[in-house]
Structure 1
Amino acid sequence: TNNAVGVVPRLIDLGIQSYLVPPTLSIAIAQRLVRKLCPYCKKKVEAKGEVKKLIMKEIDKLPEKLKKKYKKDKKPLYVYQPQGCKKCRGEGYTGRVAVVEVLKMTDQLSEIILTSPSENEIAKEARHQGMITMRQDGIIKVLEGVTSMEEVLRVTAEV
């Protein structure tokens, strides 16, 4: 599957009875690797246009605690871009880091799974319970200067 939420419907599609999934699945994790920005040459720039809209849209869906940390209503929103230097061989990136999505089985999700729900129904409940999607985790890493928006969009395009 492409995300953690897709694990449940996939197991059911494989013939596992829906009543068996909640007691046997405690957590589902999905990850993608993104390149890390070179700490020596990354460039801080103001996010504008579509990039800013996308970031704000995803921040608005975060749990309240994280939303408060990353939401910048009137202040400029900054992201980082690769530049290239001798330390990174001109690529702008060094190493990789995971962007992740974790689905934790809860009583509410267990009840929903018993009805053989769609992936969208599971995702809606998981987000309601505070799950951070892979794209949101990536955007947090963009705002913290760990990776670039291009990398996050590259690996979360199909998610």
Structure 2
Amino acid sequence: MHAALGHINTPERKIWTAEDPVEITQPGLRQVQVNAKIDWTFAKALRAFLRADPDVVMIGEIRDGETAQMAIEASLTGHMVMSTLHTNSAPETVTRLLDMGMDPFSFADSLLAVLAQRLVRRLCKHCVTTRPASVEDLQALVDQYLYSFPRPELRPSRESLLNDWTNRYAGDGTLLHHHAPGCPRCDNSGFGGRVGLHELLVVSREMRHLIQTSARAEELQGAAMAEGMRTLRQDGIHKVLAGLTSIEEVRAISNG
């Protein structure tokens, strides 16, 4: 969230944030910490922000229907609104908000995009080793990548997928398997730091129509993937091929 705010944080933009707690500060942001003990909630902070004519509002987390409804109303009146919600995937974020009682038409009109993120451990750069990936290694990755597609007609061929990976990640024409056995620099864990996996659902005209009809998460995922969305698992496989993390890490945090 703060990385996104930092990208748009310019002197001419008035940006207000409500957070619980304020963990990162940025010059130029008007940051407020909510406090449930004194009934200073996200919803009340958002209501106060809108009186100050902000350009951008960031709400740390949508925890109830009141906050969600106010965020939608703020978006419909011309404010950029950013927030977070705990769900398993980008499509499930949409259905979760609809389940909270949001009007499908207002919600569809207000929504621009949903980004799901998970953090996995990064392979230690000091002890990582490589070898040519075996046929079995690559076929296992292809199987897991294709499994994420909800409909067979959305799946690319195995050959085209391998060709794409080779063009992206094989500098000399050979895809590599990366492994970090552990060293003193990483306390023999094989990992150091973290890397993000992302799933971006952009609200197109078709997606907006599906939201208006309260479509299921599976339908939303199919439409989004037809328009180019990668699932968390698929983005993780790309990070594996790039040598940033292991397939075990990706499997541990993604379900498709």
Please, what TM-score do these two structures have when normalized by structure 1? 0.85
Q: Report the counterpart of residue 14 of structure 2 in structure 1.
A: none
Can you list the C-alpha shifts for 1:82-104, whole angstroms capped at 9, x where unaligned? Answer: 21012212111000111011111
Asked if 1:108 is matched to 2:203, the reply is: no
Change (3 A) 1:47 1:119: farther
- Distance in 2 of aligned mates of 1:94 and 1:83: 12
Gapped regions of structure 1 (runs ≥ 5): none
Question: 2:242 matched to which residue of 1?
Answer: 144
Which protein, 1 or 2, shows the higher relative CO under an 8 Å CA cutoff with sep ≥ 6? 1
Two-structure CA RMSD over aligned residues (Å)? 2.3
Percent of matched pairs sharing the same residue: 33
Residue 31 of structure 1 corresponds to 117
Q: Does the CA contact (< 8 Å) of 1:82 and 1:148 recur in 2?
A: no
The Cα offsets for residues 28-86 of structure 1, whole Å up to 9 and x where unpaired, read as: 1111110000112112242453x533411316947xxx9453058xx764321221012
**Are residues 1:91 and 2:91 paired?**
no
Write the letter of the residue equivalent to 1:41: C
C-alpha distance in 2 between matches for 1:71 and 1:128: 22
1:69 aligns with 2:134: no
Query: Is residue 2:139 matched to residue 1:53?
Result: yes
For 1:81, the equivalent position in structure 2 comes to 179
Number of matched pairs: 152
Instruction: Quote the residue 2:61 is aligned against.
Output: none
Match of 1:135 among 230, 233, 238: 233
- Say if 2:90 and 2:116, in contact at 8 Å, map to a contact too: yes
